[in-house]
Amino acid sequence: MGRGQQSSSGTSCLQGHFLRRQQRGRAFLGRPSRQTREMHPQRNSETAAEDLALLAYTSGSTGEPEGTIHNHRDILAIADGYGRRILSPVPEDVFGGPPTMAFTFGLGGLLVFPFRFGSASSLIQRFSPVGLMQVIRDTKVTILFCSATTYNILLKAELPDFVESCRTLRLCVSAGETLPAPVFTAWKEKTGIEILDAIGSTEMLHMFITNYPGEAKPGSTGKPVPGYEARIVDEQLRELPAGQAGLLMVKGPTGCRYWNRPERQKEYVRDGWNMPGDISIKDPEGFYHYQCRADDMIICSGYNIAGPEVEAVLVEHPRVQECAVVASPDMTRGFVPKAFVVIRAGASPSPELITELQEFAKARLAPYNYPRPIEFVASLPKTETGKIRRVELRSRERESFSQQRAVGMED
């Protein structure tokens, strides 16, 4: 990718585009004028398709961040695959959203795709519901990249002129965490726009399964991106029938290459297939439905409970802002689903609200799926990309359980 130059006026020229600084922490990425191009001619670097282009680190949502290697061919693959085939960008498009370009969801959506297709990108330095909606409105964003949590926050913020601010949007993209079906439905009802939920990984550089424009299915992560294959298998890599939960494995034009992690490489890549560590279901129509991370599955009295399924129900409750459900050790059942809940402004934590949330979940889930303990918290631990660090919550529960057992043994 081309090198940038800094002019005396503070304008960064990057591969035929420019980043113009604006007030209130916003910036706009677009085409420079002819005069600017003549003053700052660009020279492409000599690179080969297999040369290292990017060393991307995972966000650390499941543990310590790990470096992954991607070459120049990989970057073109995601641009001409997901970018071209799913988003169909044109030069008039404006990409926008709060994801950081330090991680690959934002890198693809706010840098690679607009650069590849001559579009513009509207950047926001610090996220707030009001600030994001103002950027969308003022810079006429047409393709929005956000996490599921962000869409939910925007819906619950009840902002004035919300619908009018979304009028220029033609596509909305979500990835990085489960998009609950109620959030998809509420967003479409309010704005008229589908959210294209997708799943990808830093190891694969970008998305490999996605919903397609005009065909999005609420609660699903969609179908393979053109060029990718996907299967649901058991632990012996035997393919499972539609409707049965199992390990997701994928292969395509990009693939995992860890930096100095040979043992981790063997775990992730098996028989030429990439194993992201996700439990999913493929339905009879060919749509994939994310259940949870393999290490997030809660086994309670022999029942398998997917935390995200419980979370998707709890966030429907009018007093819940966001939540996370993880396995909490239990002497009788082995583990039980525990919910960490952030309530909305104006709501008060109470034993009555705990009972109300449990009954709310029982009415919408299988009887064994409802959260037993519920803890109200001011915030949830998150990565730089906004993903909930469930590994931290699980660790906290294990430590608490160990301490309680130690005290019990002393008594």
Residue carrying structure tokens 């525990």: 338
Class of domain 301-410: alpha beta
Instruction: Choose among 303, 304, 309: nearest CA to 289.
Output: 309
Domain boundaries, the chain: 47-293, 301-410
> Which helix or strand (DSSP H or E) is residue 20 part of?
strand 17-21
What 3-state DSSP class applies to 75? helix
Sign of torsion, CA 151 155 156 157?
Answer: positive
The pair of structure tokens assigned to 359 is 């009954």
**How would you write the pLDDT of the chain (411 residues) with one tens digit per residue?**
333 333 222 222 233 344 443 444 445 555 566 676 677 777 777 888 888 999 999 876 666 789 999 999 999 999 999 999 999 999 999 999 999 888 899 999 999 999 999 999 999 888 899 999 999 999 999 999 999 989 988 998 889 899 999 999 999 999 988 898 989 999 999 999 999 999 999 999 999 999 999 999 999 999 999 999 999 999 899 999 999 999 999 999 999 999 999 999 999 999 999 999 999 999 999 999 998 888 778 988 888 898 888 998 999 999 999 999 999 998 888 899 999 999 998 899 999 999 999 999 999 998 889 999 999 999 999 877 777 888 899 889 988 888 876 666 555
* The architecture CATH gives domain 47-293: 3-Layer(aba) Sandwich (3.40)
Dist CA 366 CA 180 (whole Å): 17
The pair of structure tokens assigned to 404 is 């309680």
Dist CA 294 CA 154 (whole Å): 30
Rg of the chain over Cα atoms, rounded to whole angstroms, equals: 22
> Which helix or strand (DSSP H or E) is residue 356 part of?
helix 351-362
Other beta carbons less than 10 A from residue 27's beta carbon: 17
Instruction: Choose among 164, 169, 168, 197: nearest CA to 182.
Output: 197
Dist CA 347 CA 35 (whole Å): 56
Contacts within 8 Å (CB) and 24+ apart, 345-349: 347/319, 349/376
Strand partners, 388: 382
Dist CA 13 CA 26 (whole Å): 17
Dist CA 139 CA 113 (whole Å): 18
CB within 8 A of 3, min separation 6: which ones? 42, 43, 45
